[in-house]
A and B are shown apart, each in its own frame.
Chain A
Amino acid sequence: MKNRGLLLYALAYLAFLYMPVLVLPVFSFNNSEFIAFPLSGFTTRWYAGLAADSAMLHALGNSLKVGAATALASTLLGLLAAKAVTRNRLRGAGLALGFISLPLFIPDIVLGLSLLLLLGAVGLPLSLAAVVLGHLLVCVPFALTVLIARFEGFDPNLEEASADLGEDGWMTFWRITFPLMLPGIAASLLLTFITSFDEFLVAYFLSGTEATLPVYIWGQLRFPERLPVVLALGAIILTVSVALVICAELLRNRGVARPRVGA
């Protein structure tokens, strides 16, 4: 039967997709230093080890800082750009959007390398701030996509009605635009945060002595005995990332009820 074949294919595909990802949590609970089958019993000691790892905690702190700064800045920039392209009949808006989205298609290694060269050329030190700047290039397009979709689903007459009722641009933003955009803003914050938090290459090139979490993990891979701990960390990051992305998607799809005409 045709449907049966299709179902098998789909299952095989899902297995291929998710098996490697599942290996991570499975071995993070395996009571052995060696990553090999058969599994040799359940343990949480790798997770316990994480809590005591001060270098890891420091890297985690760095990643949180970079992620938060990137999320706030890219969402703010995205909000302004999205409002401009959806609310004003701008010339060349399409072209500008294309240019803003271009970094998405530039390989990260090229992006990281170019930024490294640029920082060197203008004499700026490698730092977490540099990482934030690099991440902005990657995250603003994401923010923009989420926020433009939100603005497009939102009747511009609402803002005009607010102006008509005596509120200036600023108050209209706070009383109408912001509350109606809130789910989109939250989705954008989560998506850009997680994109920055998980990003490795740009951070690797630009972070200098202050490692972010992915850079720290990369460093730990040189020590085989650290591998189970890294797996435990990876499993946590995986879980949190998936949870945040699901939240962002839920928020993104929570529609502003478009004004029903009539009915």
Chain B
Amino acid sequence: MSFLSVSRVSKSFGGAAVVDAVDLSIERGEFFALLGPSGCGKTTLLRMIGGFETPDNGTIAIDGEVMNTVPPHRRPTNMVFQNYAIFPHLNVFDNIAYGLRRLRLRKDELRARAEAMLATVRLEGLGERAAGQLSGGQRQRVALARALVREPKLLLLDEPLGALDKRLREAMQVELRAIQRKVGITFLLVTHDQEEALSLSDRVAVMGAGRILQVAAPRELYERPNCRAVADFIGDMNFFHATVRQIGDSVTVNAGLLGILALPRANLAPGIRTDDHILLAIRPEHVGFSEAGVAGEIASATFLGERSHYHVKIAGRSDPVSVSGIAPTHGTVHLVFPPDHLIGLPNA
């Protein structure tokens, strides 16, 4: 059994299913991200794992122990709240030492542990600072330190970087990863920022409307999304309608505008059969410019440094094709769609 095991967990508020039969397995020491658009139930799922909401159905087990009826103060988890929830009447040191009181440590031991944690999150010397006088980044660090100092088995982070500006967020991402490696605690990070999820985590679960859509390592998620929602949510993607002709060692599809193509079998999402109507998906950077191919007209070009981003209108299709590469800024071009990079997804 995995370290954290969530099985068939559901929760509804006022009749609306917010978390719907979710299964999730996380291994010890993993940095795991839960990625999904706003309102898809990420916080609710995290709160059930932390003990702040009770699942209507299903079980949550940590390290082999079923947690459903264990109150938050007895769970081996700690949480970094979406708004940090720094205690406003305590200074930085007392915020961080808050959860150590219960552990009945000797006074000098308590002090040493809190000071060490201040150093880990690089807040040395700020122990006496009042909670109200902290910057956003400092509040975030206090919230992290306060949770980590108890050495939980599992740390739950609810969009911990969401409130920070871009530069600070990027700096904190690097630090968060470094801290996780250092302390070796399992991290479950909730975010709606796909870049954050992909760059930080060992594995990512993509959530949509209360369900888990796909769980995979970042590269696989990017290269082999298993449905349109995941492909849409992560990065930019072009879609073409197609019909499956034959499934053998390779897959033959009739892709209309793109002609008859043969894809590697591995590029087809599971559950697709012959004659199914499917979507072919391809990333902008995999679409190529060439001498021959599907003719199109450049509708817009955005210069992005190393390469540019183009919208190319092709005949018989209303959405322009997104292409990332190097080409003239206007005029007629020819596009090629390498079958190795075309992914077949259910047309749902």
Which of A16-24, A162-170, A208-216 binds B?
A162-170
Does A49 belong to the interface (CB within 8 Å)? no
Query: In the complex, which of the residues A158, A165, A261, A263 contacts B150, with contact meaning CB atoms closer than 8 Å?
Result: A165
Q: Report yes or no: A261 in contact with B84, Cβ–Cβ below 8 A.
A: yes
> By the criterion CB–CB under 8 Å, are A163 and B71 in contact?
yes
Chain B residues, Cβ within 8 Å of A100: none
Interface membership of B317, Cβ < 8 A: no
Residue of B nearest to A154 (CB): B88
Contact B72 A160 (CB under 8 A): yes
The answer to whether B85 touches A161 (Cβ under 8 A) is yes
Interface membership of B52, Cβ < 8 A: yes
Q: How far is the CA of A158 from the CA of B71 in the complex (A)?
A: 16
**What's the interface size class on B, roughly?**
20 to 34
Chain B 77-94 against A: per-residue CB contact (8 Å), 1 yes, 0 no?
111010111111100000
| CB proximity of B335 to chain A, nearest CB, Å | 43
B99 engages A259 (CB within 8 Å): no
Is the Cβ of B147 less than 8 Å from the Cβ of A164?
yes
B73 touches A167 (CB 8 A): yes
A179 interface residue (CB < 8 Å to B): yes
Contact B85 A155 (CB under 8 A): yes
B218 at interface, CB cutoff 8 A: no
Give every chain A residue within 8 A of B84 (Cβ-Cβ): 259, 261
Closest to A180 in B: B89
Contact of A165 (CB < 8 Å), options: B71, B99, B163: B99
- CB closest residue in chain B, given A163: B72
- B72 and A262 form a contact (CB under 8 A): no
Q: Are A161 and B88 in contact (CB under 8 A)?
A: no
A160 touches B89 (CB 8 A): no
Which of these, A160, A164, A261, contacts B163 with CB under 8 Å? A261
Query: A175 — which chain B residues lie within 8 A by C-beta?
Result: 98
Q: Is the CB of B83 within 8 A of A157?
A: yes
User: Is B153's CB within 8 Å of the partner chain A?
Assistant: no
Q: Which of A161, A163, A168, A180 has the most CB of B within 10 A?
A: A161
**The 6 nearest A-B residue pairs measured at CB:** A165-B99, A262-B163, A157-B85, A161-B85, A166-B102, A262-B136
What are 19 A-B contacts with C-beta separation under 8 Å?
A155-B83, A157-B83, A157-B85, A158-B88, A160-B85, A161-B146, A163-B52, A163-B71, A164-B72, A164-B73, A164-B99, A164-B147, A165-B98, A165-B102, A167-B101, A176-B87, A259-B84, A262-B164, A262-B165
